[in-house]
């Protein structure tokens, strides 16, 4: 069985500061990895995904994430955050090459950017 | 092009009633999945449909059911509603169940059970 742990439920940060949202996963098989963002009263929007290849993945809105297989981590980073980045962020995994298309999500990290 | 459309956006039901939620996927997408989001349990997978067939089901009681029509539109039904069914129900669509395809989410249907 797979699981995803987001180590911080809330992350407060000042505008223009760097931020890292941490994600660890557990799986007995290879996985695909995803980060989604959810703004208030909205659905989920894909920020970036790791399928294979380069372990550093760049996404939308200036976010990037690094896949570390040995540490089973997929941390999300942004060098300088904006007020508009205030949202909840979800890390997710799915089975590599499996027949099941569902995502397994972490509990989410609420990013609060203060002026 | 239009995104994933879910209706209704908000609804209030009484315990014991049943509810049907609708999802229209992005044009050309044939895979639809449903998720339940609650503050306590987070995002949990309900079911996945592709070409009118349920391919995968999460760990939910039989009161939760779904179907997919030939035009890829999907509905989910919850019977005998309980207070704990209050949640945001999210529908997602993708071109096919291949996990490499980007999954697009709708804005969700907020269900309150009183």
- Name the interface residues of B facing A (CB cutoff 8 Å): 4, 31, 33, 35, 42-45, 48, 50, 55-56, 58, 90, 92, 94, 97-100, 102-108
For residue A99, is pLDDT > 90?
A: no
- A67-77 tens-digit pLDDT: 999 999 999 99
Start-to-end CA distance of chain B, whole Å, equals 37
| Res. A41 pLDDT band, cuts 50 70 90 | confident
Residues on chain B touching A99 (C-beta within 8 angstroms): 55-56, 97
Q: Which residue of B33, B42, B90 is in closest CB contact with A101?
A: B33
Q: Cα–chain-centroid distance for residue B38?
A: 14
Distance between A100 CA and the closest CA of chain B, angstroms: 6
Residue B12: name the closest of B94, B87, B101 by CA: B87
Cβ-contact A34, A49 below 8 angstroms: yes
| Cα-Cα-Cα-Cα dihedral sign, residues A102, A42, A75, B93 | positive
| Res. B101 pLDDT band, cuts 50 70 90 | confident
- B43-63 tens-digit pLDDT: 999 999 999 999 989 999 999
Beta bridge partners of A27: none
Percent pLDDT > 90 in chain B is 87
CB contact under 8 A, B58 and A102: yes
For residue A78, is pLDDT > 60?
A: yes
Residues on chain A touching B99 (C-beta within 8 angstroms): 32, 94-96, 98, 101
Cβ-contact A81, A87 below 8 angstroms: no
């Amino acid at each position: 069985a797979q699981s995803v742990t987001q180590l911080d439920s809330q992350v407060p940060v000042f505008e223009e500061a760097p931020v890292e949202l941490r994600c660890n996963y557990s799986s007995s098989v290879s996985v695909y990895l995803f980060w989604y963002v959810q703004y208030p009263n909205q659905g989920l929007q894909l920020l970036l995904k790791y399928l294979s290849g380069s372990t550093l993945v760049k996404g939308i809105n200036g976010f990037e994430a690094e896949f570390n297989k040995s540490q089973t981590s997929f941390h999300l980073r942004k060098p300088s955050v904006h007020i508009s980045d205030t949202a909840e962020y979800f890390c997710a995994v799915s089975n590599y090459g499996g027949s099941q298309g569902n995502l397994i999500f972490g509990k989410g990290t609420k990013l609060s950017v203060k002026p | 092009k239009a995104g994933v459309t879910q209706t209704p956006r908000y609804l209030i039901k009484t315990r014991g009633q049943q509810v049907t939620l609708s999802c229209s996927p992005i044009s050309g997408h044939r895979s639809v999945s449903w998720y339940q989001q609650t503050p306590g349990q987070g995002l949990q997978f309900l079911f996945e449909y592709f070409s009118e067939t349920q391919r995968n089901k999460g760990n939910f009681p039989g009161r939760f059911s779904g179907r997919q029509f030939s035009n890829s539109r999907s509905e989910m039904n919850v019977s005998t509603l309980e207070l704990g069914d209050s949640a945001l129900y999210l529908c997602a669509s993708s071109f096919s169940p291949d996990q490499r395809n980007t999954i697009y989410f709708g804005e969700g249907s907020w269900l309150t059970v009183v």
